[in-house]
């Protein structure tokens, strides 16, 4: 089994864990974290499968970079929404922060 395939398989495992977590967990913060695990899994698969021929392929790496930017933005939005939900508006000054 090549190194790339090992990466891809662990990526698939992470993806599975992440999907299960995002769907099954109740706590919203945990679900957001599970989504991040899932995203890492996809990135690992992208990079891992592209290394098949021994050399690294730059195209999937560029894709992963884009994917990471998207994941960071999405996580920020999710956490911001969660924060607003956890601190009910009008009860404290932190609601507007």
Partner 1 sequence: MPEWAAAPAAWLILIPLLWATLAFLFGPRWGGRFALFGITVQSLCAMQLVAALDSGVTQVLPVGGWSAPLGIELHVDGLAALMLLLTQVVALPLMLYTRAWLGAADRAAGYVWPLCGFMLAALHALFLAADLFNVYVALELLGLCAVALVAGDGKPQQLRAALHYLLVSLLAAAAYLLGVALFYAAYGTVSIATLVAVMDAQPPFAVVLAGTLMLVGLMAKTALFPFHFWLPPAHGSAPAPASALLSALVVKASFYVILRLRLTVFAEGDLTLDWLLAGCGGAAILYGSWRAFRCAELKMLIAYSTVAQLGYLFLIFPLLDTRELALAAAALQMVAHALAKAALFAAAGIVLVATGRDSVAALAALAGRLPVTWFAFGLAAVTLMGLPPSGGFLAKWLLIDAAVAGEYWLMVGLIISGGLLGAAYLFRILKRAFAPQASAAVLKPVPRIMEWMAFLLAAASVVIGIEATAIVEILGLVGST
Residues near partner 1 (CB under 8 A) are 8, 15, 18-19, 22-23, 28, 31-32, 35, 38-39, 42, 45-46, 49-50, 52, 59-60, 63, 66-67, 70, 73-74, 77-78, 81-82, 84-85, 88-89
Three-state SS across the chain?
A: CCHHHHHHHHHHHHHHHHHHHHHHCCCHHHHHHHHHHHHHHHHHHHHHHHCCCCCCCHHHHHHHHHHHHHHHHHHHHHHHHHHHHHCCCCCCHHHCC
Q: In the bound complex, what is the minimum distance in angstroms from residue 10's beta carbon to partner 1?
A: 14
Q: In the bound complex, what is the minimum distance in angstroms from residue 74's beta carbon to partner 1?
A: 6
């Amino acid at each position: 089994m090549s190194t790339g395939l090992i990466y891809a398989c662990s990526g698939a495992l992470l993806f599975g864990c992440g999907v299960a977590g995002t769907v099954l967990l109740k706590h919203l913060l945990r679900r957001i974290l599970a989504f991040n695990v899932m995203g890492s899994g996809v990135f690992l698969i992208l990079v891992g499968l592209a290394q098949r021929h021994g050399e690294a392929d730059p195209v999937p790496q560029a894709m992963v970079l884009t994917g990471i930017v998207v994941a960071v933005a999405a996580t920020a939005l999710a956490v911001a929404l969660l924060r607003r939900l956890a601190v009910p508006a009008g009860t404290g000054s932190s609601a507007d922060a």
